[in-house]
Structures are given as structure tokens and as C-alpha cells.
Structure 1
Amino acid sequence: MDLTGPGPARIGVFGGAFDPPHVAHVALARAAVSQLALDELRIFPTGQAWHKSNQLTPPDDRLAMAQIAFGGLARTVVDDRELRRPGATYTVDTLRELVAQHPHAQIFLVMGQDQAVAFPSWREWQAILAMATLAVAARPSAIAAHDHPGLPAQARVQPLALPAMPDSATHIRQLVARGEGIAELVPQGVASYIASHHLYQRT
């Protein structure tokens, strides 16, 4: 993807375990590309997430599911660098790499409301704010009220309008373990991958 055009590039960063990626993740990615007028959205399946106490599905499976879920979206690239990075994965390290590669780009860190609430617990969050604008998914009512609970006052925040989508990856894994259907909750290709690779089933 060519980011050398006139003016600074607008690059979005969207990270997560994607275990599995579901329709809300895809909707957020679409909203980010459209509403932020991004030149590129980079999807980062996390490696060893410092805040995750449960064991994640193997990296190769999560990368494959992310490529299936996001591969057809315009101006979107799945980036595996966090999966290849040894040790715990921190967003600040990924942002520093991107800034070094694209020093004049505008960086937007895309996140859901749950991540925004937890943001002050992230490693070097002050450094993250110096490098990126936070693009936070919110319901239209929260956007109208400029409601960004938990974010530091100095944060540059760009809200992303999204309808309520309550399903979580945890819930989807539980449904699969119980043998229940998830066809409406994840992209079709992701559902097929989960079934064919026997992911999330009780052992």
C-alpha cells in the first residue's frame, strides 16, 4: 500500500487478541477507515498480551482468522509483527515502530469503549498519547454528550459512531464450547475456520 502521496498519511492502528475476530471487530474496522478517512488501517493480532490472564489460541490460528475477517476490507492490512515479537506485547512499542517508519504520518489508535476505560493502566500511556489520537467506538448518544469515561484529560479523542454490539469474543468461545451456533456473530469464513480446526471446543 502506497503511503507516499501528498500530505501526511493517516494510519489507523487496531490491535486485539481477535480470539476470535467477530462482527463487531469488523464493523469497528470499517467505521475507522470511513470516518477517519484513513489511508491505511493496520490490524495487529496481539502476541503475549500483558493483561490477558487466560491462555490465548495459538498465534497461527488467530492470524489466519484475522486475515479471513479483515482481508476483504479496503485499505486494511493485517500486520503480524506483534505475534513475532518475543515476550509481552505492548502497544507503545508497536506505535514507536510505526512512527519510525512513517515519521510524518497521523496515527489513530482505534479501540472500543472497554479498552478506553482501561487505557490509563496501559504501559507508557503518556507516550502513546504523544504519538496517537485515540479513536474510540461509542454509541451516538455518548458521542453527542462527549462522554469518554476513564480517558486522561490530555487525550486527543476522535469518537467513532457504532451501533450497540454486545457480543464479545469470550461469549463466542463459550457458545462454541456448548455446541451452539455462532453464524451471525462472526464472519462466515471465521466460523468455518473455527469448525474445521476444532477451536474452542471442550477437551
Structure 2
Amino acid sequence: MTLRIGLYGGSFDPPHLAHLALARVARDTLALDELRWQPAGQPWQKPGRLVASPAQREAMLRRLVDDEPGFVIDTRELQRQGPSYTVDTVREVAAEQPGAALFLVIGADQFAQLDTWKDAADIALLATLAVAAREGQAVRPPAAWAGAPLAWRELPLPRIDISATEVRRRAAAGEPVSPLVGEAVAGYIDQQQLYRAAPGH
């Protein structure tokens, strides 16, 4: 039986209920044995923009996915020195789990720009791309890869208007964030006084 592993990376600053909804869709649609949440250490696309520390982002993720079957927190990128590149993580997991079917969970906007990622062709060789498509959103591969063979699956994602930017804005304004992140994560944000001094971030 081939092991089916989903890889779901992001800054998760903070993780919220839309992240959780996508993870559930990926796990169920792709019949994954496990989905690995992989918080980025230093996302190369967002230099200097993270507010919460690596330990705080990991703690929030653990509260978000508590008791969810098939979900694993993989902290390798938090421990890696320098920028976080997805290709390094995909290569490592492929080497650790020979023969496993890997699925990289990304958004449609990321998929359209995948050719700009480091060693993107290697990512596409090692993993099937599982692309989250919001209702009414067209999913297209990078224009530069038109006509190239590419293994990808579309994940139907119900419309959920939640973003990390909105969570941070609400927290900075002293507004409740539990409807966006759940009670456990909201409690942690309040306890740590996260995002209080970062309006608009």
C-alpha cells in the first residue's frame, strides 16, 4: 500500500479556520494517510514580515489542529537556517519516505506563479500539486509551463473569507478573533498579546 502524504506549508502568522478547512479538504479529497503542516522558518517570499515567533506559530498550529485525525506538525523549516524553500522540504520528505506519493497543497495564486519558485521543476517531478480553488476561481498552471506535462489536482474549497491579515487587524484593534481562528488559538493570541502593536500587518 502506497503511503499518501500531503505537505502544507505557509507562514501561519496566525493559522486560521480557512487553513483548517483547506487541510481537511486535502486530507479527505486526496485520501491522505497524513497531512503535514509545515510552518516556514523564513519564507523567501515574505522577508522580514513575520510577526509571531517560530515557537508562537508552532504553538498556534498545535492548538488549531488538536485532535484532528491524520494531521502532523512538521517543524523542519523552523529549524532550518536561512530562507525556507519548498523544494528542500519536498526533497527531504521524498528521501525519508521512498515510494510514498507526495502531494503539495498550494493555492491557485501560488500555482500560477510556481515557475518563479526555486527549482520548481524538481517540485513538480517529486510531488503532485494539489491546488486549492475557491468558488468561481479559475485554476491555471504557470503560463511559462503551457503544454508541459504537469501532475496536479484541483481541491474544491468552499468560499471562506478569512485571511491572516484580517486576524492581525482585528487583534490590533482589540476586536474578537475567535470566529476566524477558533477559541484555542484566540486564547493563545490573547495570552501572548500577539499582533497588538501591528495594525495592518
Common topology (TM > 0.5): yes
- 1:173 Cα deviation (Å)? 0.5
Deviations along 1:62-93, one digit per CA (max 9) or x if unpaired, are 00001111232111100111000111110000
**What secondary structure sits across from 1:159 in the alignment?**
strand
- For 2:96, give the aligned amino acid: Q
The answer to whether the aligner puts 1:20 opposite 2:20 as a matched pair is no
- 1:55 Cα deviation (Å)? 2.9
- 1:195 Cα deviation (Å)? 0.3
Unaligned runs of 5+ in 1: 1-6
- In 2, the alpha carbon distance for the partners of 1:165 and 1:33 equals 18
- In 2, the alpha carbon distance for the partners of 1:16 and 1:108 equals 15
Is residue 71–residue 78 contact of structure 1 (8 Å, CA) maintained in 2? no
- 1:188 Cα deviation (Å)? 1.3
Pick from 128, 139, 143: which aligns with 1:148?
A: 139
Is residue 71–residue 77 contact of structure 1 (8 Å, CA) maintained in 2? no
Name the residue aligned to 1:120.
115
The answer to whether the aligner puts 1:10 opposite 2:1 as a matched pair is no
Deviations along 1:40-69, one digit per CA (max 9) or x if unpaired, are 111100001111034312100000001111
After superposing the two structures, state which structure 1 stretch, 158-167 or 94-103, moved more.
Answer: 158-167
- In 2, the alpha carbon distance for the partners of 1:113 and 1:185 equals 21
After superposing the two structures, state which structure 1 stretch, 87-96 or 107-116, moved more.
Answer: 107-116
**What secondary structure sits across from 2:22 in the alignment?**
helix
Q: 1:198 to 1:160 in 2, by over 3 A?
A: same
Is residue 31–residue 162 contact of structure 1 (8 Å, CA) maintained in 2? yes
Deviations along 1:126-154, one digit per CA (max 9) or x if unpaired, are 00000001101113555xxxx42243343
- In 1, the alpha carbon distance for the partners of 2:83 and 2:47 equals 12
- In 2, the alpha carbon distance for the partners of 1:199 and 1:50 equals 23
Name the residue aligned to 1:4.
none
State TM-score, norm by structure 2: 0.91
State TM-score, norm by structure 1: 0.90
Name the residue aligned to 1:3.
none
The answer to whether the aligner puts 1:35 opposite 2:26 as a matched pair is no
Pick from 58, 64, 73: which aligns with 1:63?
A: 58
Is residue 87–residue 120 contact of structure 2 (8 Å, CA) maintained in 1? yes
Is residue 178–residue 185 contact of structure 2 (8 Å, CA) maintained in 1? no
Structure 1's consecutive aligned runs of 4 or more residues displaced over 4 angstroms after TM superposition are none
After superposing the two structures, state which structure 1 stretch, 158-167 or 187-196, moved more.
Answer: 158-167
**What secondary structure sits across from 1:49 in the alignment?**
coil
Unaligned runs of 5+ in 2: none
Residues 83-162 of structure 1: pairs in structure 2 closer than 5 A: 83-139=78-134, 141-142=136-137, 147-151=138-142, 152-153=145-146, 154-162=149-157
> % of aligned pairs identical?
45
- In 1, the alpha carbon distance for the partners of 2:44 and 2:32 equals 28
- For 1:12, give the aligned amino acid: G
